[in-house]
Amino acid sequence: MSAPAQPGQAAEAGGGPFDPKELIGHHINDSQTLELPFGHEIHLPTLHLFGYDWKITKYVVMMWIASVILLLVAWLATRRRTLVPRGAHNVMEAIVVFVRDELARKNIGHEGDRYVSYLLSTFVFILTCNLLGLLPYASTATGNIGVTAGLAIMAFLMIQLGGIRQHGVKGHFKNLVPHGLPFWLVPIMILVEIASMFTKPFALCIRLFANMTAGHVAILSFFSLAFILKSVLVGAFLSVPLALFISGIELLVAFLQAYIFTMLTSLFIGMSVHPQH
């Protein structure tokens, strides 16, 4: 481990002006280093497997940590089952019931129970990643477009699987085009519906990525005001209060974005299982 100079410190040491872009980019971009207190950092390895280089980055580590936390909570919740749930068991049961009743059954219908495990996994994983990003020296994995793209691809596969499971391969793709259209309009609608198939997961990907990144950019921008204006008063009475206010909103956004991603996924699965014509 070593103690590298921070962006602001590096600018001051070199005699150059403070660069907020460097500070923001340093915190939101992926890298192979983990920052630790007192200016130390851990350099992450690169695995060489099957002729490819697999880089372990800070966002990968954050997803591993989120997975370990969820496995630990699941173990604690199921370790001792009682008639009256308590502690972690009570929390997990409330989350499961919420996802089942408010998302799966409400948006998919009677077939929604078979998708509860996927929707629950998606919700708690996104929520845990979002909350981890609020901790000092941690990173928000869902603020990386590669991570949100992976989640969106999984959603896309589940949406198609839902329609195929309910109507078969032929019936699913036949349901993409509304019945009763004029013959000349069918080719246009096929193109529109195919584009819509990919637009839905793309919107999920961009929405989660943009919202989780925007909050961190706003917080770092407010902190940068004090250095840009070189004023202690600006930092004490403007930058810090605004940054704290945005941090409080980020806590709400962490829950909200996990809910929106899961809710829209369940809604799209419901539209695939029960097409409206």
> Is residue 268 included in any domain, yes or no?
yes
> Is residue 52 included in any domain, yes or no?
yes
> Is residue 13 included in any domain, yes or no?
yes
Predicted pLDDT at 7:
47
> Is residue 224 included in any domain, yes or no?
yes
Kindly tell me if the per-residue pLDDT of 140 is higher than 50.
Answer: yes
Q: How far apart are CA 33 and CA 59, in angstroms?
A: 10
> Is residue 159 included in any domain, yes or no?
yes
Predicted pLDDT at 52:
80
- Helical ranges in the chain per DSSP H: 7-13, 20-28, 58-79, 87-98, 105-108, 116-132, 145-174, 186-229, 232-234, 240-273
Long-range contacts of 77-84 (CB under 8 A, 24+ apart): none
> Is residue 174 included in any domain, yes or no?
yes
Number of domains the chain is built from = 1
Q: What is the mean pLDDT of the chain?
A: 83
What is the pLDDT confidence band of residue 234, given thresholds at 50, 70 and 90?
low
> Is residue 2 included in any domain, yes or no?
no
Long-range contacts of 18-26 (CB under 8 A, 24+ apart): 18/224, 18/227, 18/228, 20/220, 20/221, 20/224, 20/227, 20/228, 23/220, 23/224, 24/216, 24/217, 24/220, 24/221, 24/224
What is the secondary structure of 10-78 as a DSSP string? HHHHTTPPP-HHHHHHHHHS--SEEE-GGG-EEEPPEEEETTEEEE--HHHHHHHHHHHHHHHHHHHHH
Predicted pLDDT at 8:
47
- Select from 118, 129, 102 the least CA-distant residue to 208: 129
Q: How far apart are CA 46 and CA 23, in angstroms?
A: 25
**Radius of gyration for the alpha carbons in the chain, expressed in angstroms and rounded:** 23
- Select from 246, 176, 186 the least CA-distant residue to 211: 246
pLDDT tens digits for range 13-72? 444 576 767 767 767 788 888 887 777 788 888 888 887 888 888 999 999 999 999 999
> Is residue 260 included in any domain, yes or no?
yes
pLDDT tens digits for range 206-218? 999 998 888 878 7
Q: What pTM, to 2 d.p., does this model score?
A: 0.83
Domain limits for position 226: 7-273
Choice among 9-23, 156-170, 184-198, 212-226 with the minimum mean pLDDT: 9-23
Choice among 28-37, 79-88, 117-126, 250-259 with the minimum mean pLDDT: 79-88
